[in-house]
A and B are shown apart, each in its own frame.
Chain A
Amino acid sequence: MTSDVILVIVVGAALAFDFTNGFHDTANVVATSISTGAARPQVAIAAASVLNFAGAFISISVAATVANDVVNAAAITPTIVFAGLIGAIAWNLVTWYFGLPSSSSHALIGGVVGSAVAADGFHVVIAEGLLGKVLIPAIIAPLLAFVAAGISIGIAYRVVGKQRPGIVSRGFKYGQVLSGGMLALAHGTNDAQKTMGIITLALIANGSLGAGADPPFWVIASSAAAIAAGTYSGGWRIIKTTGTRIIKMDAAQGFTSQGAGAAVILASTHFGFPLSTTHVINGGVMGAGAAKRLSAVRWGVAGNIVVAWVLTLPAAAIIGAVTYAVTSIFGSGAVGPVLVTVAALAAILAAFVRRAQRGAPVTVQSG
């Protein structure tokens, strides 16, 4: 009974994380379409929401990696998963508060690794999986998007360079409907699967599923719904950072950055690599900008984003570890997770109130 209560809290926290992922992360997906004028914000966000939902159903490779290849599932308890989720949610909200597009994925993996280490020591971490399936792809993927977007935009400018700008711009804006859609689909399939993987890990830890099991349908459907709802709720501060502060983009750059990002995320998802979609999208944006003119990229803003990326894994891991330590003060029952959940909700409410007192969120229209 106690473990079932904890499991319910874990599933709730995981879906809340998925919601914040959509709220925080998916804004990046629509930023380029909005900043180039290819789509109106409301339309872009609604479409991204639907495609994120659809994307969640097309693969489970990443979910399998998160559930089985990062930490030893046999040593994990639902309380460890809960503490890791709190670490990820807390870091997501901190970076949202300051308008930085950090990686929700790395926050999630960092949080779970941190809480698992706090509970059982470093031996519970599957170093091969963490390094080979998370950390190395995390370095390669944004660089790949950067290079692919840079080469693409260089060739695209050569192909259409002598044509009338109006027609070319309109063509690429139409193209952004496709590339933006593919990026949203790609985002949904990679990011929603991380939540599926975490819930599956909790179900395995609780004994509700056997080791190595795939996510049940209700897990897939609820994860898809949560990320879609989060996406629809927006995330204007981060749209502004990615869409206009890194570079000023034209439609061709928007198309190439989205196309390169979607290709990298979809290919990685196919092979089960739980990428940071944020890193990849920003890599594509910077590649498309740098290929046109190095000074077009606002490297100071890009540097701040890189710092947030570097901090994410260790910061979420520390918060996850502290959360586990606090939770375990109250024993192995449901009291700890319940109290931490109440405290987390209070902290979230305080953050929103403080944000509201400091003025309305920055929007694309107002910014």
Chain B
Amino acid sequence: MPVLAEIVETKELVQTVVFAFVAGVGVTVIFSVGIWGVARFIDLNQEERSVAAGAAAVIGVLALLAVAASVVIGVVVMTGK
């Protein structure tokens, strides 16, 4: 009778948990930063604070690009197996 640790593919299960957690939480947080950047850009632009607005826009765009990149990487990794 094999023990539980031998039955369960612990390494793969742990990797699944880590990848899913990092991707699930990470993408949401980065996307939220993207929304924050866009929202701040709109508000700061209306206040005519162009430098701060530009900085917020850069942060927002970079965050949204990071989200897009992570999605592409995720699909590429999936198709690679």
A164 B7 Cβ-Cβ under 8 A: no
Q: How far is the CB of B51 from chain A (nearest CB, A)?
A: 19
Q: How many A-B residue pairs have CB under 8 A?
A: 132
Q: Are B79 and A58 in contact (CB under 8 A)?
A: yes
Selected from B33, B39, B81, the residue in CB contact (under 8 A) with A164 is B39
Please pick, from A149, A151, A160, A270, the residue contacting B35 in the complex, using a CB distance under 8 A: A160
Q: Which of A131, A182, A271 contacts B16 (CB 8 A)?
A: A271
Q: Does any Cβ of B come within 8 Å of A289's Cβ?
A: no
Residue in B closest to A252 when the chains form the complex, CB atoms: B32
- How far is B6's CA from A83's CA once the two chains are assembled, in angstroms? 31
Q: Which label, helix, strand, loop or mixed, suits the secondary structure of the A interface?
A: helix
A314 at the interface (CB under 8 A from B): no
Query: Given A144-B21, A259-B28, A267-B16, A128 and B36 touching (CB < 8 A)?
Result: no
Chain B contacts of A259 at CB under 8 A?
A: 24, 27-28, 31
CB distance from B57 to the nearest CB of A (A): 13
A270 touches B77 (CB 8 A): yes
Q: Considering the complex, which residues of chain A in the window 163-184 have a beta carbon less than 8 Å from any beta carbon of chain B?
A: 163-164, 167-168, 171-172, 175, 178, 182
Residues of chain B contacted by A269 (CB below 8 angstroms): 78
**Complex Cα gap A189–B79 (Å):** 10
How many whole Å from A277's CB to the nearest CB in chain B? 13
Q: 1/0 per position for A255-294, CB-CB distance to B under 8 A?
A: 1100110111011111111000000000000000000000
Q: Let me know if A353 is at the binding interface, CB within 8 A.
A: no
User: How big is chain B's contact interface, by range?
Assistant: 35 or more
Judging by beta carbons under 8 Å apart, are A167 and B35 in contact? yes
Contact with A along B23-44 (1 / 0, CB 8 A): 1110111011111101110110
CA distance A185 to B72 in the complex (A): 12
> Can you report 10 A-B residue pairs in the complex whose CB atoms are below 8 A from each other?
A131-B8, A136-B13, A152-B28, A155-B29, A160-B32, A178-B71, A260-B20, A267-B23, A273-B13, A273-B16
Q: Could you tell me which A residues sit within 8 Å of B by CB distance?
A: 58-59, 61, 127-128, 131-133, 136-137, 140, 144-145, 147-149, 151-153, 155-156, 159-160, 163-164, 167-168, 171-172, 175, 178, 182, 185, 189, 252, 255-256, 259-260, 262-264, 266-273
